[in-house]
Structure 1
Amino acid sequence: MGVAVGVLATLSIVVALIVGFIGGLLGFVAWEWIATGLEAVASFPGVSDVTDVSAPAAGFFAALALVVVINWWPLLTRYTPVEYLFQPTPPSVVATGAVLGCLYLVIIEGSAAVTSGVAAVLSPLERAVLGLGLSGLLVVGLFVAGARREIRNLRSELVDDSVPAAEVDPELEATVRRLAQFASVPAPEVYVTDADRPESFTLGSGASAVIVVSTGLCERLADDELEAVLAHEVSHLANFDSRIVAAAIVPVVIADDWIDPDASDPGDLLWNAVFRALKRYGQFGVAVLSQGREWHADAGAAALASPAALASALETLADARRVPETDLREWERSVVALDILPPALEEQGSGPFRTHPSTAARIRRLRRLAAS
């Protein structure tokens, strides 16, 4: 956990600084345009130019008048000759002019209030620093939101072809509910996907949690083995593993989003090399974190069900597992789905980026737990 947190924290800081600085520079230019536009709009004549009323007060009362018109329009039409705006009648023309005048004052006096207020409080240098900082934070926030949306889409795609377990195997859903009650977590939805490849994985957390199992998994395992595998998935929910891993993978997804797949000139190639290195660095951190969560899920499953049965299930599944032919080979998708085994064969899942501990080591540990 210490290694994983260290790697992911440094990655998050570096990615946030790079993205925030670049976005801040772009946003700073936009802020300058906005400021210039506000100053130009504020130069238009307003009530504050010919009366003693200040620009903030004039803008406030004009906005208040618009709010009254919008919210109490039926009441106004009941006690005045005005029925509609933009009609060729004298009352309607007067009312339309008043509304448009209030809208004009909101824009003009509001712009004057903002420009004068900022100029009175901040120096030009402070305004530049504030614009750069706010722009950077805004861009980082937008990228984080986009990465989280990508992760949600990946999860949704994994459940698209599945059907509720209640429709095909009610006993499966009952087993999960019982295990969830033992683990003191909300009962997740259970889905079954029609696939010969044995797999089971957990998505989401809390009330939105989902456990998906394949028909190939259910057909290959004995009842006690299947219960142990489901206990492993419920243990992921009890440990909030899906939420933890989803948060950890966000900077990795952001780094991947900044890689240009069509880069050709040296500058773009260098840019890609930097973000590919950051992505691989983050993948290492997420892999270390994921391995730790798998160890914990095995321990939780041993407490909820039989550790010997889980060891037997892992042996059966490892023998039946083969390289997937679907998009599960994508690293990001294999991480957001907390599967019972890695998405490919052991030999192809080895190295610093493997998301699961060695199956043989997990079996040895579970057998020691069963013996004790």
Structure 2
Amino acid sequence: MSFRRRICAVLGVFVAVNAAFVLALLWAYGVLLPGIVGGTIVYFQHGTVGIDFLRLPVSWPTALLLVAAFLAAQLYYGYRRVLAGTRGADGDAEHAVARTVRRLAMIADVPEPAVRVVDDTEPSCYTVGRLTDATIVVTTGLVEALDAEELEAVLAHEIAHVANRDVTLMTITTLFVEIADRAYRGARLARRALADPDALSQSGRAALYWFLPLVALTYVFVAPILWVFPTIAAWATRTLSHAREFAADAAAARITGNPLALATALLTLAETTPTPATDLRTTGIRALCITPIEPVTGAETASPPRIRRPTDGEKRRERVTAWLEGATPAGPIGGGASETHPPVERRVRRLSELAADLATAGATGRQP
């Protein structure tokens, strides 16, 4: 299956899962629970009951309108939530990172994204956006960790996400992972209250106090309906993200003409970032980053660190070769696949092969 068809197929599954999620909530709280409670009362009073469970509490046009509203809300709030902690800096944004992004956008023939350089030592880079705009967030830690060519390659990778029009898709997909997981956790409130009552939040305790019968019914009848949604949502996010990362890597290599710069940038990030947590609620958010790390938000700086001079090309090649031949670090970022990203080893190997193809094409004078 081609890349485009695979993306369209997973996107169709994602939209269908969103629709099923909304319809499941409508049916559970509008038909199932009222039917069980009301049917039980009627049964004890009259000895018989007749309830139609194969229906929705609203008309189909209204249900479709609610599904569309849910998708629109993900589009709107997903963008706002991810950028909520990045505060704009006062001053001129004409720094080296912004100029590099402008030049790469011109090469890729895409609208110039906004750039925010966040003052944080954690090396991180990600892109969020909507249908009409995109924002690339870079930390000062990333600028300090990479040389000029590596930073350019990472920014080209993010530009490729904009060019491939998958920034909006992943922004709303990651939000649905969190929504589905929170809904499932909320439906299991009664179980969590019995297993670890001290870990309940204040809102959870209030729900138990005021709505204990509803909480119990939700756990028994609604939780089994919702358990599948976080799993399917995580699968959709993982599949989409793996495909888009490989495509963005290849596009960045074409834009810069330097695949090994992106390869060594990935190695640096793999070696300097900690192993991510396995919490599903944060897994989807990491899909926005170039490697599976937490998106960093905070105050923006108008004066990023000085960008280091590029590394010698031969040393870069030697580092990639040595890493692939046995120095691959263990862990989800280094050697194994994560929920949101393919293994760095596979990405680096593909970039190494692209570099070899470019070298062969240059030696023979043909187009790669």
Q: TM-score, normalised by structure 1?
A: 0.62
Q: Which residue of 1 aligns with 2:162?
A: 237
Shift in CA distance, 25/311, structure 1 to aligned 2, threshold 3 Å: closer
| 1:136 and 2:63 are equivalent in the alignment | yes
Shift in CA distance, 266/329, structure 1 to aligned 2, threshold 3 Å: closer
Q: Distance in 2 between matches of 1:24 and 1:292?
A: 34
Q: Which residue of 1 aligns with 2:331?
A: 347
After TM superposition, give the deviation of residue 219 of structure 1 in Å.
0.7
| 1:301 and 2:227 are equivalent in the alignment | no
CA RMSD of aligned residues (A): 3.5
Report the 3-state secondary structure (helix = DSSP H, G, I; strand = E; otherwise coil) of the residue aligned with 2:59. Answer: helix
The answer as to whether partners of 1:164 and 1:192 remain within 8 angstroms in 2 is: no
Q: Deviations over 1:215-252 (max 9, x none)?
A: 11111111111111111111111111202323545654
The answer as to whether partners of 2:125 and 2:142 remain within 8 angstroms in 1 is: yes
Structure 1: gaps (5+ residues): 29-127
Shift in CA distance, 278/331, structure 1 to aligned 2, threshold 3 Å: same
- Which one-letter code corresponds to 1:347 in the other structure? G
Q: Deviations over 1:1-54 (max 9, x none)?
A: 5566545534533542453365379889xxxxxxxxxxxxxxxxxxxxxxxxxx
Q: 1:20 aligns with which of 19, 23, 28?
A: 23
After TM superposition, give the deviation of residue 212 of structure 1 in Å.
1.1
Q: Distance in 2 between matches of 1:364 and 1:202?
A: 24
Q: Deviations over 1:316-348 (max 9, x none)?
A: 1211112479x997123223xx21111179724
Q: Which has the higher contact order (CA 8 A, sep 6+)?
A: 2
- Count of equivalent residues: 268
Q: 1:189 aligns with which of 114, 123, 143?
A: 114
The answer as to whether partners of 2:120 and 2:140 remain within 8 angstroms in 1 is: yes
Of structures 1 and 2, the larger Rg is shown by 1
Shift in CA distance, 301/22, structure 1 to aligned 2, threshold 3 Å: closer
The answer as to whether partners of 2:160 and 2:251 remain within 8 angstroms in 1 is: yes
Report the 3-state secondary structure (helix = DSSP H, G, I; strand = E; otherwise coil) of the residue aligned with 1:203. Answer: strand
Q: Distance in 1 between matches of 2:354 and 2:79?
A: 36
After TM superposition, give the deviation of residue 258 of structure 1 in Å.
3.3
Q: Distance in 2 between matches of 1:172 and 1:369?
A: 26
After TM superposition, give the deviation of residue 253 of structure 1 in Å.
4.9
Q: Which residue of 2 aligns with 1:322?
A: 274
Shift in CA distance, 312/279, structure 1 to aligned 2, threshold 3 Å: same
After TM superposition, give the deviation of residue 159 of structure 1 in Å.
2.6
| 1:149 and 2:76 are equivalent in the alignment | yes
| 1:371 and 2:356 are equivalent in the alignment | yes
Q: Distance in 2 between matches of 1:278 and 1:229?
A: 33
Q: Distance in 2 between matches of 1:8 and 1:351?
A: 25
The answer as to whether partners of 1:24 and 1:135 remain within 8 angstroms in 2 is: no
Q: Percent identity?
A: 33
Q: Which residue of 2 aligns with 1:228?
A: 153
1:224-303 alignment runs, 5 A limit = 224-249=149-174, 252-256=177-181, 258-261=183-186, 263-264=189-190, 265=216, 267-303=218-254
